[in-house]
Structure 1
Amino acid sequence: MKSVPELVEGGAVDLPAVMAVMNESFDPRYGERWTFAQCAGLLPMPGVWLTLARVGDAVCGFALARIVADEAELLLLAVRKDAQRHGIGRRLLDAFLSGARSRGAEHFHLEVRDGNPAIHLYESAGFTLAGRRRDYYSGDAGRTFDALTLAKFEPPRR
């Protein structure tokens, strides 16, 4: 990656680019990928925000999140394959945490497929295992995969 991506707020107009990143980043054999309709239906809901990592007009990553009361959830985080291992995922994760804190979050959580390499990223940011959902993801050929629920708590700063 030659240029450092800027992080910008995204919206419904960016969904085709988000879907392109998602389709490249999530291997269909694991069943983690969301549909356009799922993303489009969620974006206008209160407390939902989309952060894009962009180089020029090209989206190379995104994070989709929501907050309810003091609980924030990272719903999706993806980085294009050719942009991975350049710190973009970390920047998007940090932007999620910062954006959630500014919206009043103290509790943060996410679900990730057991075995997904991103688990290391989340653990390095202070997330810990809070639970497991057996057979949560339905992948190719009828295979299922567990989801791990990871959580982080930050009491308000005084």
Structure 2
Amino acid sequence: MQVMQAAFDPVYGEAWNHSQTRSMLAMPLTHTIVAEILPRPPEAQPGEPIGFSMSRRIGDEEELLLIAVIPEWRQFGAGSSLLTQVIENAKDAGVGRIFLEMRSNNPASHLYHKFGFTQVGLRKNYYKGADSKLYDALTLALTL
């Protein structure tokens, strides 16, 4: 939850609360991957979490629910590593397409486009920010 709160700007209200997160994790075929700082020898203990992804599989489709990386660790490859692993896991499970939905002005859009996601849908004025400003939702898909 600390990563969740740090990763999402409160202006947009996108961070999930503890109850929402627990409910999603309890659903069948929901997967979470955690990105950690690599521990340095001789510690040999898990490192500090710096990001995570959460997805769920339904039939031969995967929905990427969240990718979160704390701001000070962005631009170091954590988001790309998480997305790569989501895609590889989906391929290994025989998934044909991965979908995600995001706010239209989300700076992570460059990451998804770099991986080959394309826009397949639009919901006008779907998200409402803390300032009551409305934002479109984009649905993106990647065919595997």
TM-score normalised over the length of structure 1: 0.82
Determine which of 24, 29, 33 is the counterpart of 1:42.
24
What runs of 5+ residues in structure 2 fail to find an aligned partner? 38-45
Where in structure 2 are the equivalents of 1:51-90 lying within 5 Å? Answer: 51-55=33-37, 56-90=46-80
Matched, 1:97 2:77: no
Counterpart amino acid of residue 53 in structure 1: A
Residues matched between the structures, number: 136
Displacement of 1:93 in angstroms is 0.4
Where in structure 2 are the equivalents of 1:101-112 lying within 5 Å? Answer: 101-112=91-102
RMSD of aligned C-alpha atoms? 1.0
Question: Percent identity over the alignment?
Answer: 40
Q: 2:126 & 2:22 partners in 1: Cα distance?
A: 22
What runs of 5+ residues in structure 1 fail to find an aligned partner? 1-18
Counterpart amino acid of residue 130 in structure 1: V
8 Å Cα contact 1:69/1:104 also seen in 2: no
Q: 1:91 & 1:138 partners in 2: Cα distance?
A: 30
* 1:89 match: secondary structure: helix
Following TM superposition, the consecutive aligned residue runs of length 4 or more in structure 1 with deviations greater than 6 angstroms are none
Counterpart amino acid of residue 70 in structure 1: D
Counterpart amino acid of residue 97 in structure 2: H
Displacement of 1:28 in angstroms is 1.1
Report the structure, 1 or 2, having the larger helix content.
1
* Residue in structure 1 matched with residue 11 of structure 2 by the alignment: 29
TM-score normalised over the length of structure 2: 0.90
Counterpart amino acid of residue 24 in structure 2: L
Q: 2:89 & 2:78 partners in 1: Cα distance?
A: 16
